[in-house]
Amino acid sequence: MDMRSNDTIFEVGSNARHFVKKLIYIILLILSYSVSYAQSCEVEGTYFSTFEDIKTILDASDCASCHANGNTEADWSYDDYTSFIKSGSCGQPMIIHGNAAQSYVYEVLSAKDDLCLESSSVHKLSAEKLDQIESWINHGAPEYCLPLYPEIKSIFDANNCQSCHNQSSDMWGYDTYADILGLDLSNSCSDGAIIKIGDAFLSLLYDKINNDNQVLCGAPMNGVSAPLTQEEISKVRDWINGGALESKSTLPVVLSKFNTQDIGESILLEWTTEIEIATDRFVIEHSETGRDFEPLAEVSSIGSSDFITNYNYTDDDPSYGENYYRLKMVDLDGSFTYSNIRLTRLQKDAAEMIISPNPAVSSDRLKVTWYPKRGQDQAYLNIVDPNGRSLHRKIIFEGTNYVRLPALIEGIYYVIIEDYFGGFLLERVVIIN
C-alpha cells in the first residue's frame, strides 16, 4: 500500500468522523429545542405561564427531591402555590409580584451573591428556564391564567355582589373598570386602597373576600349569598398581582428578543417587539448588582403596531465587571411592566481581584471577585501561607466566588489567582480569630 492510498483511507475516515460529529450536533440541537417549556396560558394571542408551567420546570430541574412531595429543605416547598410564595428559612419575601429583580426565588435561581444561606450549584438554572420564571414573576406570578377585568366582573356577578354593590347604592361598585378600582371613593377603611395594583395583600377588595376570617375593617364579603370558590378567590388575587389589567389593549408588551453584548468599550442593547398596543416608551435601566436598578435612558416606542419592530440603544459608559440591564415598558396610561434582566460583563485589559472581608475570621466565607483579562473566564485560586505552602486550591469563575476558608491560625496569608495563560494576581489576607 503506498502513501497515497493510505492518505485516501485516512480522508474517508475523517469525513466519516465529520459526519458523525455533525449528526451529534444536530441531535443536540433538536434536544436543546425540545427542552423549552410550554406556556399554557393564552390571553388574546399572547402566551403567559401559569404556576403549573413553573412547577413543570422545577420538576424537570430536580428540585423535587429537596423541595416538593413533602420534602421541605430550608422550610420551603413548591407543592402548591401557597407554599411556593411563602418565605422559607431565610425569611425573605419569595416573590415581589411584577418585579423579578427583587424576588428572592429569582436571586436563588440566578445564583446571585447575597443569599442568606450558602447557595450551591443545584440552584443555578439554565438561562432558558430562568427566563421563563422571570417573565412569570414580571407578569405578577399568577397561579392561573392571567385574568382581565371582564373575567373578574363575571366572578362577582356569579356571586351576587351586584345585589348590594350596584349603581343605585352609593357604595363601591364594579360595573365599570373605573368603578372597580374605586379611585374616587372614600372607602370605609380610611387607609386601605380598594385595589393596590400589583399587591393583592394590601388591597381591601382581596382582604374582604379571601376567606381568612380577618378583615381590615367592616365585614367579610365572602359567603353572603354564594361563597366564592378557592379558585375564584385566587383569580381575583392573580388579577390584582398581575397589574389589574382591563382589556386586551392593556396587555403588557412581550418582547420576542432582548440581547445585550459587549462591543468593545460599549454595550449594545437590542430588542424586538411583535405586537405593541398603546406602548409609550422603553426606559432602559442599569444596575451593577442585579437588584437596584437606575434609569439610564429612554427610547420612544413607535406606538401601536402588529408587525415586528426592532429597537436598539448603546450604553457608551458601562462599568467594568457586571452590567445588568432591564427595560421598563411604559404604556400611554402610565402602567408598566419589566422585561427580563440581561447581564453583560465588560472585561478589562488587566485582570483584577477584590477580596472581602479582610481581615477575615477563619470560619468566614471569603468573597473573591475576579475580573479577568479579556477572553478568560476561569482560573485557579490558591490560599498560601507565608512559607509558600498551598492550603487550599479550587477553580473559580469570572465574577463573584465564595471560598470557604480551611481552619487557619491567626496570621498573614496570600490569595493567589493563576489563570490558564500564566498570569497571576496576589492579595494579602489577614486572619483574625
**Residue 386 in grid coordinates:** 507565608
How far is 299 from 302, CA to CA, in rounded Å? 10
Query: Which of the stretches 26-34, 223-231, 291-299, 358-366 binds ligand HEC when contact is defined by CB under 6 A?
Result: 223-231
- Please, what is the angle between helix 127-138 and helix 51-60, to 10°? 160
CB of 96 to ligand HEC, least distance (A): 14
Alpha helices by DSSP H, 159-229: 177-181, 204-209
CB of 174 to ligand HEC, least distance (A): 7
Instruction: Give the residue, chosen from 100, 101, 125, 408, that forms a contact with ligand HEC under the rule CB under 6 A.
Output: 125
CB of 75 to ligand HEC, least distance (A): 6
Which letter does DSSP use for residue 209 in this model? H
How far is 20 from 146, CA to CA, in rounded Å? 46
How far is 362 from 365, CA to CA, in rounded Å? 8
Does position 187 bind ligand HEC by CB under 6 A? yes
Of the candidates 224, 190, 221, 191, the residue with the CA atom closest to the CA atom of residue 205: 221
Of the candidates 256, 315, 255, 253, the residue with the CA atom closest to the CA atom of residue 280: 253
CB 86 within 8 A of CB 76: yes
Site size toward ligand HEC, by CB under 6 A: 51
Does position 123 bind ligand HEC by CB under 6 A? yes
How far is 287 from 379, CA to CA, in rounded Å? 26
CB 89 within 8 A of CB 74: yes
Question: For residue 278, which amino acid is it?
Answer: A
What mask of x and - would describe binding to ligand HEC in positions 30 to 69, judged by CB under 6 A? ----------------------------x--xxx-xxx--
Instruction: Give the residue, chosen from 46, 79, 83, 90, that forms a contact with ligand HEC under the rule CB under 6 A.
Output: 90
How far is 34 from 57, CA to CA, in rounded Å? 13
- Judged by beta carbon, residue 221 or residue 366, the one nearer ligand HEC is 221
- Judged by beta carbon, residue 38 or residue 122, the one nearer ligand HEC is 122
- Judged by beta carbon, residue 78 or residue 293, the one nearer ligand HEC is 78
Instruction: Give the residue, chosen from 88, 98, 142, 173, that forms a contact with ligand HEC under the rule CB under 6 A.
Output: 88
- Judged by beta carbon, residue 67 or residue 286, the one nearer ligand HEC is 67
- Judged by beta carbon, residue 241 or residue 344, the one nearer ligand HEC is 241
- Judged by beta carbon, residue 89 or residue 256, the one nearer ligand HEC is 89
Instruction: Count Cα neighbours of 423 within 13 Å in the Cβ-side half-sphere.
Output: 16
Footprint (CB under 6 A) of ligand HEC, residues 157-186? 159-161, 163-165, 171-172, 185
How far is 308 from 328, CA to CA, in rounded Å? 19
Applying CB under 6 A, the residues found at the interface with ligand HEC are 58, 61-63, 65-67, 73-74, 76, 87-90, 92, 105, 108-109, 115, 117-120, 122-123, 125, 156, 159-161, 163-165, 171-172, 185, 187-189, 194, 204-205, 208-209, 218-219, 221-222, 224-225, 228
